[in-house]
């Protein structure tokens, strides 16, 4: 602390250690101070030693490049899902763009993995575009799961065919109604457009008993 003010005036540039001990003699020209970080690619004084060539080196090199290529083809290489473009394009139907759902392409041994990692295995979805049309007969015994699956296939094929979808949706509604065993008597009894309960066909009119007529009938 005593040298705080004095250090600037007297004994400018004093170091804490004896310079001669480290080897810098008095009056030696020191290298210029560095004012910027060292260059990114300093010039090389000595060229590097050549790489080992020969049969072994070339074989290992070829092996490395082959391995790299092979790994990209294996199912372990997970490609990120291609983001949906702004407009649906016709060519999307014909381009395979990776797994549609999040299933795995290979079959790990699930017994060796923690249970929480198990992913629902994708079942082979067969093409159902033309098969669904003739399926009109009541399918009350159909499992709920199968409908859910069908609904999912429908979801996936949503973009492709819209008219078919509408037809299918109608069928779904019909089936659902049959399954729920609702029979809307009012709507379907005579297949008219009029709801029956609103119509009063006058059978009750005038059928009231005439006994105890104290009041006049108009």
Partner 1 sequence: MTQAEIKLCSLMLQEHFGEIVEKIGVHLIRTGSQPLRVIVHDTGTSLDQVKKALCVLIQHNLVIYQVHKRGVVEYEAHCSRVLRMLRYPRYIYTTKALYGDTGELIVEELLLNGKMTMSAVVKKVADRLTETVEDGKTMDYAEVSNTFMQLADTRFVQRCPMVHAPENSDTQPPPPAPNLVINEKDMYLVPKLSLIGKGKRRRSSDEDAAGEPAAKRPKHPTDNKEPIPDDGIYWQANLDRFHQHFRDQTIVSAVANRMDQTSSEIVRAMLRMSEVTTSSDAPFTQPLSSNEIFRSLPVGYNISKQVLDQYLTLLADDPLEFVGKSGDSGGGMYVINFCKALASLATATLESVIQERFGSRCARIFRLVLQKKHLEQKQVEDFAMIPAKEAKDMLYKMLSENFISLQEIPKTPDHAPSRTFYLYTVNVLSAARMLLHRCYKSVTNLIERRQFETKENKRLLEKSQRVEAIIASVQATGAEEAQLQEIEEMITAPERQQLETLKRNVNKLDASEIQVDETIFLLESYIESTMKRQ
Residues in 49-68 at the binding interface with partner 1, rule: CB under 8 A: 49, 51-52, 56-57, 59-61, 63-65, 67-68
Applying CB under 8 A, among 3, 89, 97, 113 the residue interacting with partner 1 is 113
Q: What would the two tokens of residue 133 be?
A: 């049309």
CA distances from 202 to 52, 128, 186, 199 (A): 109, 52, 18, 9
Asked if 39 interacts with partner 1 (CB under 8 A), we say no
Give the nearest distance from C-beta 48 to partner 1 in angstroms: 7
Task: Specify whether the backbone of 107 is left (phi greater than 0), alpha (psi in -120 to 50) or beta.
Answer: beta
Asked if 35 interacts with partner 1 (CB under 8 A), we say no
Asked if 192 interacts with partner 1 (CB under 8 A), we say no
Asked if 121 interacts with partner 1 (CB under 8 A), we say no
The torsion of the CA quartet 192, 196, 202, 203, rounded to 10 degrees, works out to 110
Give the nearest distance from C-beta 99 to partner 1 in angstroms: 9
Asked if 145 interacts with partner 1 (CB under 8 A), we say no
Give the nearest distance from C-beta 95 to partner 1 in angstroms: 17
Alpha helices in the chain (DSSP H): 3-9, 19-22, 55-73, 144-156, 162-180, 185-188
Q: What would the two tokens of residue 142 be?
A: 């159909």
CB 171 within 8 A of CB 137: no
The footprint of partner 1 (CB under 8 A) covers 15-18, 21-24, 45-46, 48-49, 51-52, 56-57, 59-61, 63-65, 67-68, 70-71, 74, 76-80, 102, 104, 108-109, 111-117, 119
């Amino acid at each position: 602390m005593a040298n705080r003010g004095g250090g600037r005036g007297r004994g400018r540039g004093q170091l804490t250690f004896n310079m001669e001990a480290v080897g810098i003699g008095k009056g030696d020209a020191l290298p210029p101070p560095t004012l910027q970080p060292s260059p990114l690619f300093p010039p090389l004084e000595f060229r590097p030693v050549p790489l080992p060539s020969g049969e072994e080196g070339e074989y290992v090199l070829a092996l490395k490049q082959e391995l790299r290529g092979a790994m990209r083809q294996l199912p372990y290489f997970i490609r990120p899902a291609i983001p949906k473009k702004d407009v649906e394009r016709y060519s999307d139907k014909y381009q395979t763009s990776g797994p549609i759902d999040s299933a795995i392409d290979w079959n790990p041994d699930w017994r060796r993995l923690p249970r929480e990692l198990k992913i629902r295995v994708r079942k082979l979805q067969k093409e159902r575009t033309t098969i669904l049309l003739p399926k009109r007969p009541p399918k009350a015994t159909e499992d709920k799961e199968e409908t859910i699956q069908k609904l999912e296939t429908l979801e996936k094929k949503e973009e492709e065919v819209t008219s078919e979808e509408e037809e299918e949706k109608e069928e779904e509604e019909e089936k659902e109604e049959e399954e729920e065993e609702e029979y809307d008597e009012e709507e379907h009894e005579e297949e008219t457009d009029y709801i029956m309960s609103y119509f009063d066909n006058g059978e009750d009119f005038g059928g009231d008993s005439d006994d105890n007529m104290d009041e006049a009938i108009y």
